[in-house]
């Protein structure tokens, strides 16, 4: 029987040599914000259902939603809505075949991140 020889192969790149790029981070953030919006929607639906159920149950749900944790979830959800919206516009632009070069894609990624923070701040000021 023939003997097999172990082939020396390089290890795959890992985080110590891979530098995250704005384009990859913005793609990951788009997925995270989409899923986080589902969690926030469930919390809001729970709050509305509690309002239609009973006063005691609504008091519990309202205490959770109006706590520091609930307010944090709502503010982060507001940021997620703005980020997800801007990222969707960016993808529409990409789908038109524009902005696909690396410098433009990186600028658009930063525009989504910075724009979502600015729009969240403006929304909170207006509320």
The CATH number linked to 61 is 1.20.1300.10
- Joined tokens for residue 115: 């724009």
pLDDT tens per residue across span 93-125: 999 999 999 999 999 999 999 999 999 999 999
Residue 1 in any domain: the answer is no
In a domain, 111, yes or no: yes
CA–chain centroid gap for 89, Å, is 15
Helical (H) or strand (E) element with 55: helix 55-65
pLDDT score of 18 more than 90? no
Question: How many of the other CB atoms lie within 10 Å of CB of 116?
Answer: 22
Whether residue 8 is contained in a domain is answered as: no
Contacts of 46 (CB under 8 A, 6+ apart): 61
Number of domains within the chain:
1
Confirm if 94 and 100 have CB atoms less than 8 A apart: yes
Residue length of the chain: 127
What is the rounded average pLDDT of the residues 9-23? 72
Q: Residue 28, CB half-sphere, CA atoms under 13 Å: how many? A: 6
In a domain, 104, yes or no: yes
Query: d(Cα 39, Cα 120) in Å, to the nearest integer?
Result: 19
Let me know if residue 16 belongs to a domain: no
Average pLDDT, the chain: 91
On whether the pTM is more than 0.85, the answer is no
Q: Quick one: how far is CA 98 from the chain centroid?
A: 23
How confident is the model at residue 84, as a pLDDT?
94
* Mean pLDDT along residues 29-37: 93
């Amino acid at each position: 029987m023939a003997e097999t020889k172990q082939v020396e192969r390089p290890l795959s790149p890992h985080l110590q040599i891979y530098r995250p790029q704005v384009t990859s981070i913005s793609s990951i953030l788009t997925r995270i914000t989409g899923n986080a919006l589902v969690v926030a929607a469930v919390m809001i639906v729970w709050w509305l259902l509690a309002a239609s159920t009973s006063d005691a149950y609504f008091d519990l749900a309202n205490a959770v939603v109006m706590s520091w944790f609930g307010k944090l979830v709502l503010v982060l959800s507001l940021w997620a809505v703005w980020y997800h919206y801007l990222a969707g516009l960016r993808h529409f632009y990409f789908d038109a075949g524009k902005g696909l070069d690396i410098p433009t894609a990186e600028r658009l990624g930063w525009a989504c991140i910075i724009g979502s923070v600015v729009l969240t701040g403006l929304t909170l000021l207006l509320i």
